[in-house]
Structure formats: C-alpha cells, structure tokens
Amino acid sequence: MKLVILVLLASFQLLAQSGGKEHPVKYPTVYRTIQIDGLSIFYREAGPKGAPALLLMHGLPSSSRMFEPLLSRLSDRYHLVAPDYPGFGHSDWPDPKKFAYTFDHIAQIMNHFTEALGLSRYTLYMQDYGGPVGFRMVLAHPERIQALIVQDAVAHNSGLGANWKTRRAFWADRAANESALRANLLSLATTRTRHAGNDPDQERYNPDLWTDEFAFLSQPGQAEIQSDLFYDYRTNVEAYPKWQRWMREQQPRLLVIWGKYESSFDPSEPEAYARDVPKAQVHIVDGGHFAMDTAADEIATLVRDFAASIH
C-alpha cells in the first residue's frame, strides 16, 4: 500500500510540474491491416507520411514487432513502415498446400504492399530474412531505393557459418533431413541463441523474446510453413552473386549494422559488404542477431544520422 501511495504522489508531482498537461508522443505507432493479393497484411506505422520513408523488413522467427524500438525513437523525423510477411506475425498464414512460401513470392507481395501504401521512394532496412526479401525488391524496383541498411543479414556465401551444415544438407535432400532441419532451425534452444548468442552477460536478455517466438513457431502449420520457406532459402545462395553485382555497380548508400554476439552468421560478413561498397558505413554494436534487444539506442542513433545524411 505504501508503494502505491508513493507512486501516486510521484505521478501527481510530475503532473503538477507539467502544468497539469499530459505530453503524448507526437507520432504514436499505429497498427493496421491491408488487403494485398487476397491476403490480410499487418503492419506497424509511425511518423508523418510526408517525411522520408524507412521500410523495415524483419527476420525469422520475428515479425514487425522487432522494430518497435525504432518506431518509438525515430517517428519524430521519419515515416516508418514495418509489415509482417505472409506466414508471420499478425498477417495471414495461408495453407502451404495452397500458397507458395518462397522468397520470390513474399518479395512480390511486399512490393505490392509498398505500392498500395504509396511508398515510391524509401530507405530499405533489412534484417535476417529481410535481406533475401529486400534484395529481391531492390532488383525488381531499383528506382524506389534511396539507401540500404543491413542489420545481420547475409548476401555472401561466406557469411553462412558452421551451423549451416545441417541446413545445406536439407537443401540437398529435403526428405532425408527435414526432422534434423526443424530441430536445428525451429527449436527453443536455437530460438534463444538467436537473441543471446554467446554474450557473456545473459541477464540483459528478456526471456519473453524467445519464448514468445517459440510459441509462434509451435502454432499449428508453422513447422510446415517455415520448412517450406527455408527450403527455398537455397535460392538466396544462388542469387548472392546478382545482389553483389548490383551493389558493386550501383554503389548504393549503405549502412551495415552487426551484432558483436551474432551467432547465426559468420563475422566476416560486414567486411564482405565493405568490399562491395567501399564507402559503406560499418558498425559493430553490443548485441546479438537481434541487436535491438540490447543496443536499441545505439542503432537508432546510427540510423538517424545515416538517414539525415541522405536527405
């Protein structure tokens, strides 16, 4: 009871200091759905629509929720849009027997999504699966791209580390390796490792991060959806040379953000981007594969400064 009274007193003091007025966030995040190609696509949006646009593409097994730290920190100056892919988050999860879960298909739907929202020019932020979705969007409509931000996403075969041995075996023989792939890719242990990696300070990580994602992966149909999509991941490896060639030829404005404790990909990947785009800004931050878990302020500052240099 004493604690409740103290909290109330503190609240009244703050209210008195502000002249009795509340100070709401100027551009709060809103949560919307839109029909794209017969599917309900969920997205988060923040910031003024006339401001420079940042299109945020999420990874596995996350959703647009991973970008909440950026939406809350950057909406004063930028128009941020973060969709959930089909089969993820709050977007529709069509039956994989009736819907092709491929990166080509998802990229096509995401391009249609941007057209429906009137996003004709934007900086593209790609994390993990956001890389293969985003690079396909880039090659389909390069005129829409103002700049690229890559956070823990791969565009070089050398960036796939040792834990990809099981995954490559799955691509070579799906039937023989499906159960091993699901244990490797979709297990609770792997879901946890994606966040905390080998960070010596494990107490920094909220366990809800991976238990929520594992609960998502455990939903009926998700194992089939994610297996189908990951089987198609082999097409990303085949496409890497095209993405690299585009970067080398176009020399886009590029910001690379990499978690110090990244465990899904090889630590050489940021240097590979810098070889393709020598003027790229490369920053290693204090985090894992989902670096915003622990480095949200640092990443928001990097993105803000990078975006400001473009506009």
The tens digit of pLDDT for each residue in 223-241 reads: 999 999 999 999 999 999 9
Among 22, 69, 64, 12, which Cα is nearest to 43's? 64
Q: How far apart are CA 158 and CA 61, in angstroms?
A: 22
pLDDT at 310: 87
Q: How far apart are CA 54 and CA 149, in angstroms?
A: 10
**Cβ atoms within 10 Å of 121's Cβ, excluding its own:** 11
Q: Phi and psi (nearest 5°) for 250?
A: -90, -25
Q: How deeply is 34 buried, as exposed, middle or buried, from its count of CB atoms within 10 A (0-12, 13-18, 19+)?
A: middle
Got the DSSP string for 267-285?
TTHHHHHHHHSTT-EEEEE
Query: Percent of the chain beyond pLDDT 90?
Result: 88
- Report helix, strand or coil for 178: helix
Residue 258: is its pLDDT beyond 60?
Answer: yes
List pLDDT tens digits, range 270-283.
Answer: 999 999 999 999 99
Q: Give the mean pLDDT of 104-133.
A: 98
Q: Give the mean pLDDT of 79-105.
A: 98
Which one-letter amino acid corresponds to residue 60? L
List pLDDT tens digits, range 14-55.
Answer: 333 444 344 456 899 999 999 999 999 999 999 999 999 999
Question: In the beta sheet, which residues pair with residue 307?
Answer: none
Q: How deeply is 142 buried, as exposed, middle or buried, from its count of CB atoms within 10 A (0-12, 13-18, 19+)?
A: exposed
Task: Output the pTM of the full model.
Answer: 0.91
Among 105, 101, 54, which Cα is nearest to 75's? 54
Q: How far apart are CA 48 and CA 255, in angstroms?
A: 23
Average pLDDT, the chain: 92
